[in-house]
Structure 1
Amino acid sequence: MPTPLYLVTGLHAESMAAATLGLQFDLPDPVVVRHEVDVAAGTLRRTVSDITGVLEREVVRLEHACASCAVREDVIPTLERLGQLDRWQAIVVHLPVAADGSSVCRVLGADRRVAPSVRAAAVVLALDGPGVVGDLLGDDLLSERFPVATAGDHRGVGEVLAAMVEYADLVAVFGDVGPDGTDLLRHLARPGVRLGLGGPDLPAGALLAGLHDHRASERWVAEVYQGRWREAQGPSAWRMELTTTLPLHPERFREGVPALGSGRLRTRGCFWVASRPGQVGVWDGAGGQVSIGTRGSWGRARPLTRLLFTGLLEDDVRPRLREAFDGVLLTDDELRARGPRWEVARDGLEPWLGAIRRAA
């Protein structure tokens, strides 16, 4: 039977270490694998230990020192090697800072032959409670806050951390998170995910049974979401979904990005533009920073725009977002005059979406 993996993710080293230690004590007979990336040195430090002490400590030079390369070049091979030994009942995996658990789960889920001796049992996100709201909705960059592990990574802290919350099977919060932070986490996390205040907060039996449902995790974080309506409101936070099968006007969309993406919000989803009717547009942002790009074609699926916004009630900008969203849609007059699929050579979105590709 494959050895279960418990993947610890996060941005704060102290919280990640505390979650790793908690799992080490809660799980029967575990081995712990810790990976630390040093971007400037171009190295990955791997430490393997169990109840008897440190079993191995090695510094590996990476072709490109980043979290994704670390997962591909060393984390997955190391986990399979340890699983093949059949020596421990569980493997606790302290991933590099800023490495999302999805990077491991997707490799394992795509092809079981890559690492047949292990299975993903849980993705545990470790958070610093007092900093939750600022980290998720602020405008800091990863490279500014965590230079050793993420130098050169210009993504926002909020964008990376929100994606971790959305993919996690268990959110472990260390320190006082406050009511705003607690409710914000509940609105970002997949419905039913446990929020542990002060640690993983689960009995060993539940952990051993496994919390990770790969299909459910992927459905919740999918850019083109096909599930139920996700709007919700709690005592401190809200979640709003804006969707349409009408195409977006390319020029008004370009001008409307700041209105839709600015402020203390988490935003994600898909969109389609009249000038690029076959392209799936993807939207990902937090804390006023937005990334837009493309992800393949619609194929036989019906194109749509479906954007999910999450924020706090103290910053309730839902009316502004609805107005901005309505303003970027094609009008009835534009649809009658030009139809939903425009034939143009350029649309002004090339810096983000690349050149327009015509269907053969």
Structure 2
Amino acid sequence: MTDTSDDFSSDLSDDLATLADTPAADTGADGRHALTVIGAVDPALLDLVDLALAGQDAVVIRAGLHFGADDETASSDGDDDDLVRLVSHSSADGFDDDPVRLDVPMPYTCPTCSLREVLVAVAEDRATQDPGGTTVILLPAAIELAHLLPRLAEDLADTGVRLAGAAHVLDATTALDELLEHRLLAAFPGDCRCTGAVHLANLGYADVVLALGRDEDLAGADLIEHLRPHDALLLPGLDAPLLETLTGLTHDSAASLSRIHPATTSAWGGPDDHGVWTLDLSASLPFHPERLRSLVVDLAGQGLCARGCFWLPSRPGRVCMWEVAGGALSVGDAGTWAEVPGAPSGAGDDAAAEPRCHLVVTGVGDEEMREQVRRAFARILLRPEEMAQALAWIGADDGLGDWFGQES
């Protein structure tokens, strides 16, 4: 690894200039340079987007993460550094046969942190070259937008760059398998995420969802509708005005984070013509720790996507996260109820921060599975008569310390 320095951006300036020496048209909503990012799980979809944007009024830069020990190109060049690779072969003049490539040693051990710092340098350099133009970054495959963009937005504040809309691309023809089945990503060394987890997070966070391969009879298209927020724009295919739509937006990371927070997520729903359904399960009572442990398989189900929060009498001040995607269940601690987006700060007004159990579950067909989840949710809740003894759980071992990484 190579450590970064304070003048990291200026050190890259000369090299970055070669990536995009053709100014793009002025599309900035406020006169600043517009930076927009597009992500996907499948890199082949980014190839299609790259081709579709060629000849439009923007400079398109493909970003990649390359790890020296596993990268054949890096090894053949005698360079074993972990790299952020930038490739530009698309501009307002069309798609070039001879792309320009720049390899930047990762400034940090964290790939996402390294990518962010390189993108800041790219954006500032592009803003100097072309103040009112547009740069489109095609992200490395499987980057989680929520881990990249909030800090990127902070770093670009008070600069000549406006962070425009962020898009997530997926294929409706493969959406069922990628969201509901367990498919490992292995996007970088040690990556044990599944495709469903990244899709679910990015569908909730993105400003724009681009669904390719969408036909009227696809359950996958309906599934995407159920999982994307109502205030996220849905574009059906590459014929849609993707660049115009993204540059017309300004990314609001706080709003995007609120959409995917376990305690503020919503049941967005959608068409049910092809058997897609969504359950919106909510209760003010907590989960019983022992019944949760024994019925967790029934509540998680099979072939489902789920997200939301719950609380436990043994952990009354903590938001417990629940997520099912790609056949895998994730449970964890998501902070305090007072930290939930939108929770009031006044000591005398805590209605919005009331602990609650709220799970949003989406599946396709299988009404028996839907009813299994509904019944499990009701059975796990503390019964009203049990609430009188709820205080006895505080400070007691609830048997779930291995789930949350610590004892209660």
Q: Shorter-chain TM-score: what band?
A: 0.7 to 0.9
**Shift, 1:87, TM fit:** 4.9
Residue 402 of structure 2 corresponds to 351
Residue type at the aligned position of 1:8? I
**Deviation per CA, 1:249-281, whole angstroms, max 9, x where unpaired?**
112112222222231111111111111111111
Cα contact 1:4–1:118 (8 A) shared by 2: yes
Residue type at the aligned position of 1:151? P
TM-score by length of 1: 0.85
Residue 62 of structure 2 corresponds to 34
Secondary structure of 1:339's match?
A: helix
Rounded to whole Å, the distance in 2 between the matches of 1:89 and 1:22 is 18
**Shift, 1:36, TM fit:** 0.9
**Shift, 1:9, TM fit:** 0.5
Residue 78 of structure 1 corresponds to 122
Cα contact 2:303–2:327 (8 A) shared by 1: yes
Cα contact 2:227–2:269 (8 A) shared by 1: no
- The structure that has the greater radius of gyration is 2
**Deviation per CA, 1:272-292, whole angstroms, max 9, x where unpaired?**
111111111112221320111
Residue 393 of structure 2 corresponds to 342
Cα contact 1:174–1:197 (8 A) shared by 2: yes
Rounded to whole Å, the distance in 2 between the matches of 1:214 and 1:23 is 25
Cα contact 1:19–1:172 (8 A) shared by 2: no
Q: Is it true that 1:223 corresponds to 2:262 in the alignment?
A: yes
Secondary structure of 1:150's match?
A: coil
**Deviation per CA, 1:71-115, whole angstroms, max 9, x where unpaired?**
3342233223322333561110111110133334312444653x7
RMSD: 2.8
Residue 209 of structure 1 corresponds to 248
Residue type at the aligned position of 1:126? V
Cα contact 1:67–1:98 (8 A) shared by 2: no
Distance 1:350-1:234 versus aligned 2 partners, 3 A rule: same
**Shift, 1:200, TM fit:** 6.0
**Deviation per CA, 1:179-221, whole angstroms, max 9, x where unpaired?**
2011001111111544333316127654432274545433322
Q: Aligned residue pairs: how many?
A: 347
Residue 28 of structure 2 corresponds to none
Rounded to whole Å, the distance in 2 between the matches of 1:309 and 1:124 is 24
Residue type at the aligned position of 2:44? E
Q: How does 1:202-351 map to 2 (within 5 A)?
A: 202=241, 205-210=244-249, 212-225=251-264, 230=268, 234-236=272-274, 237-299=276-338, 300=350, 301-314=353-366, 317-336=369-388, 338-339=389-390, 342-351=393-402
Rounded to whole Å, the distance in 2 between the matches of 1:334 and 1:316 is 29
Residue 200 of structure 2 corresponds to 162
TM-score by length of 2: 0.76
Residue 9 of structure 1 corresponds to 39
Distance 1:14-1:287 versus aligned 2 partners, 3 A rule: closer
Q: Is it true that 1:131 corresponds to 2:182 in the alignment?
A: no
Rounded to whole Å, the distance in 2 between the matches of 1:332 and 1:195 is 43
Residue type at the aligned position of 2:397? R
Rounded to whole Å, the distance in 2 between the matches of 1:70 and 1:306 is 36
Residue 58 of structure 1 corresponds to 102
Residue 146 of structure 1 corresponds to none
Secondary structure of 2:305's match?
A: strand
Residue 69 of structure 1 corresponds to 113
Unaligned stretches of 5+ residues in structure 2: 1-30, 72-81, 339-349
